[in-house]
């Protein structure tokens, strides 16, 4: 069935050509940032650049490199990468469609499934998750700045030791680097979505230039024969490798689960769904595989050149015997990480927190709430404990998965791709998305069921098989929430007081 939406009538203030929302829209549900876009101007390259910024970071480098050290053969890792990123590609195309056609961000689109007030549930969950990762990514990028500072001014080295000059677990130099990046990111964000688009258009390609230069430097030092697509010995053969391959696939999907969930925040700016799909194809399967190959080649060459495996690109750059190369490389990786941070962890909570109280919290204010929260959680203390990070990823997947499943089930399986845009912005009890006092109990139940079953293996890893099941927390939560939502909507329609309304969108 063809998607049918009401005409978008307004634009967001994050866009240079902003317009106020129609008077008919309830002020408790809208502002200039949340209202449907008047113009959608992003092409395929802008979506492609979005994914480059999302992939080309220190975190993306380390994640890709870690897959080649799982004890699998090189071809098995490449197969896992291809399957995992292809799954992400198709899921992103699915979640992109409703927001692109309605011209609204992710939290507004959630009103269709959760209700006009109930949509604050997924908005707050996604916003808080983004705040945590915003802080962690800022801390990762600040490490590169510290490398640059010490290289240029060696006398600063003592101030990088937290035990000598530190506060709340972070060194004085670390605090300075963190706050510098905090201000830079806030300044870029404050300029609005058009400036952010230009910024991410630059970030992704810039990292490729430095990555190829770094790879070329290491090949020059070690020779072509030193290239190896395995960063460790092959431990798994035959069917024994299957669980590890499946775990690698799940890791790829989990890594992208956050930006994948709120991809509608970006697809809403695209000219067409065709532009989104082309951008996704270039940015995900094509770009991610190319980047992963570049990562593993570069990492493998650190063994003959430096005598040890180095999977951190900033540390690799720091070993080069050229001040100019170190500064250029470290600054580039810093810019790249800033790019992914703004894309994945700044814009999302900006829309999510603005959604909670549109008239009191603008898009910019929502972003600043996220920025302040990222300091208060002292993310460097989280990152210093790898077990906590691993545990956190699985817990987050357990909550992100159900939200994704409910959104997809509602739009594709229950509503058959139909959106009544004007009803997304009304508090009238006759509105299609009012449900029961603004909440859809079906969506709430489905989310709770999916989250409980998904988070149980994470919390009960001591039980037999739970440690393995925890790797698939996103899939468990997504699948159970989707099935629960569809079954309740079909067999218990009385639970939803709006279920008997005939869908008749205005065209």
The Cα angle at residue 488 between residues 438 and 258, in degrees rounded to 5: 65
Which of 35-44, 45-54, 223-232 is predicted with the least confidence, judged by mean pLDDT? Answer: 223-232
Long-range CB pairs of 211-214 (<8 Å, 24+ gap) are 211/56, 211/291, 211/294, 211/295, 211/298, 211/313, 212/294, 213/329, 214/298, 214/313, 214/316, 214/317, 214/329
Token pair listed for 370: 């996220």
Strand 170-171 and strand 166-167: the pairing is antiparallel
DSSP class of residue 15 equals S
Model confidence band, residue 414 (pLDDT cutoffs 50, 70, 90): very high
pTM: 0.85
Residue keyed to tokens 């201000």: 183
Mean pLDDT across the chain: 84
Mean pLDDT throughout 220-228?
A: 87
Instruction: Compute the CA torsion angle 30, 481, 402, 471 (nearest 10 deg).
Output: -170
- pLDDT tens string 269-325: 999 999 999 999 999 999 988 888 888 888 888 889 888 888 777 778 878 877 778
The answer to whether 70 and 248 are in contact (CB under 8 A) is yes
Rounded-to-integer distance, Cα 491 and Cα 469, Å? 30
Residue 506: pLDDT above 80? no
Residue 229: pLDDT above 70? yes
The answer to whether 79 and 401 are in contact (CB under 8 A) is no
> Is residue 348 within a helix (H) or strand (E), and if so which, with residue range?
helix 347-356
Tell me the backbone φ, ψ of residue 270, rounded to 5 degrees: -75, 150
In this structure, the chain runs to a length of 507
Question: What percentage of the chain has pLDDT greater than the value 90?
Answer: 32
| Nearest residue to 206 (alpha-carbon basis) of 336, 318, 323, 344 | 336
pLDDT attached to residue 2: 47
């Amino acid at each position: 069935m063809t998607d049918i939406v009401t005409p978008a009538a307004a634009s967001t203030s994050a866009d240079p050509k902003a317009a106020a929302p129609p008077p008919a829209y309830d002020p408790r549900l809208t502002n200039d940032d949340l209202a449907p876009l008047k113009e959608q101007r992003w092409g395929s390259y802008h979506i492609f650049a979005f994914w480059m910024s999302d992939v080309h970071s220190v975190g993306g480098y380390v994640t890709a490199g870690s897959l080649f050290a799982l004890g699998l053969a090189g071809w098995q890792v490449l197969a896992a990468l291809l399957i995992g990123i292809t799954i992400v590609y198709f899921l992103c195309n699915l979640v992109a469609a409703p927001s692109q056609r309605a011209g609204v961000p992710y939290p507004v689109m959630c009103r269709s499934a959760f209700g006009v007030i109930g949509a604050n549930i997924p908005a707050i969950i996604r916003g808080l998750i983004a705040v945590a990762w915003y802080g962690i990514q800022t801390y990762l990028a600040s490490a590169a700045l510290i490398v640059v500072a010490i290289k240029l001014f060696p006398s600063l080295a003592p101030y990088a030791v937290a035990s000598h000059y530190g506060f709340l677990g972070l060194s004085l130099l670390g605090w300075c680097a963190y706050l510098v990046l905090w201000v830079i990111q806030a300044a870029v964000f404050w300029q609005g979505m058009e400036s952010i688009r230009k910024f991410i258009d630059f970030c992704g390609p810039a990292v490729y230039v430095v990555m190829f230069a770094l790879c070329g430097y290491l090949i020059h030092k070690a020779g072509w024969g030193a290239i190896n697509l395995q960063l460790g010995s092959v431990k798994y053969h035959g069917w024994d490798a299957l669980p590890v391959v499946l775990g690698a696939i799940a890791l790829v999907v989990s890594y992208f689960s956050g930006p994948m969930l709120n991809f509608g925040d970006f697809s809403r700016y695209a000219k067409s769904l065709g532009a989104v799909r082309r951008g996704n194809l270039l940015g995900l399967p094509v770009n991610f595989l190319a980047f992963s190959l570049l990562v593993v080649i570069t990492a493998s060459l650190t063994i003959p050149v430096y005598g040890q495996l180095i999977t951190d690109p900033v540390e690799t750059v720091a070993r080069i015997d050229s001040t100019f190369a170190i500064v250029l490389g470290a600054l580039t990786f810093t810019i790249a990480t800033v790019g992914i941070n703004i894309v994945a962890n700044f814009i999302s909570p900006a829309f999510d927190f603005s959604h909670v109280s549109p008239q009191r919290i603008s898009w910019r204010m929502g972003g600043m709430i996220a920025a302040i929260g990222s300091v208060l959680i002292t993310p460097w203390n989280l990152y210093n404990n790898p077990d906590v990070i691993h545990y956190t990823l699985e817990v987050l997947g357990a909550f992100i998965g159900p939200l994704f499943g409910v959104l997809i089930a509602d739009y594709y399986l229950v509503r058959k791709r139909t959106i009544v845009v004007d009803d997304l912005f009304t508090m009238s009890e006759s509105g299609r998305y009012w449900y029961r006092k603004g909440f859809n109990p079906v969506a709430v139940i489905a989310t709770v069921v999916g989250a409980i079953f998904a988070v149980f293996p994470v919390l009960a890893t001591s039980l037999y098989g739970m440690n393995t099941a925890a790797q698939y927390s996103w899939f468990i939560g997504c699948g159970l929430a989707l099935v629960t939502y569809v079954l309740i909507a079909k067999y218990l329609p009385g639970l939803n007081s709006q279920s008997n309304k005939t869908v008749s969108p205005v065209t």
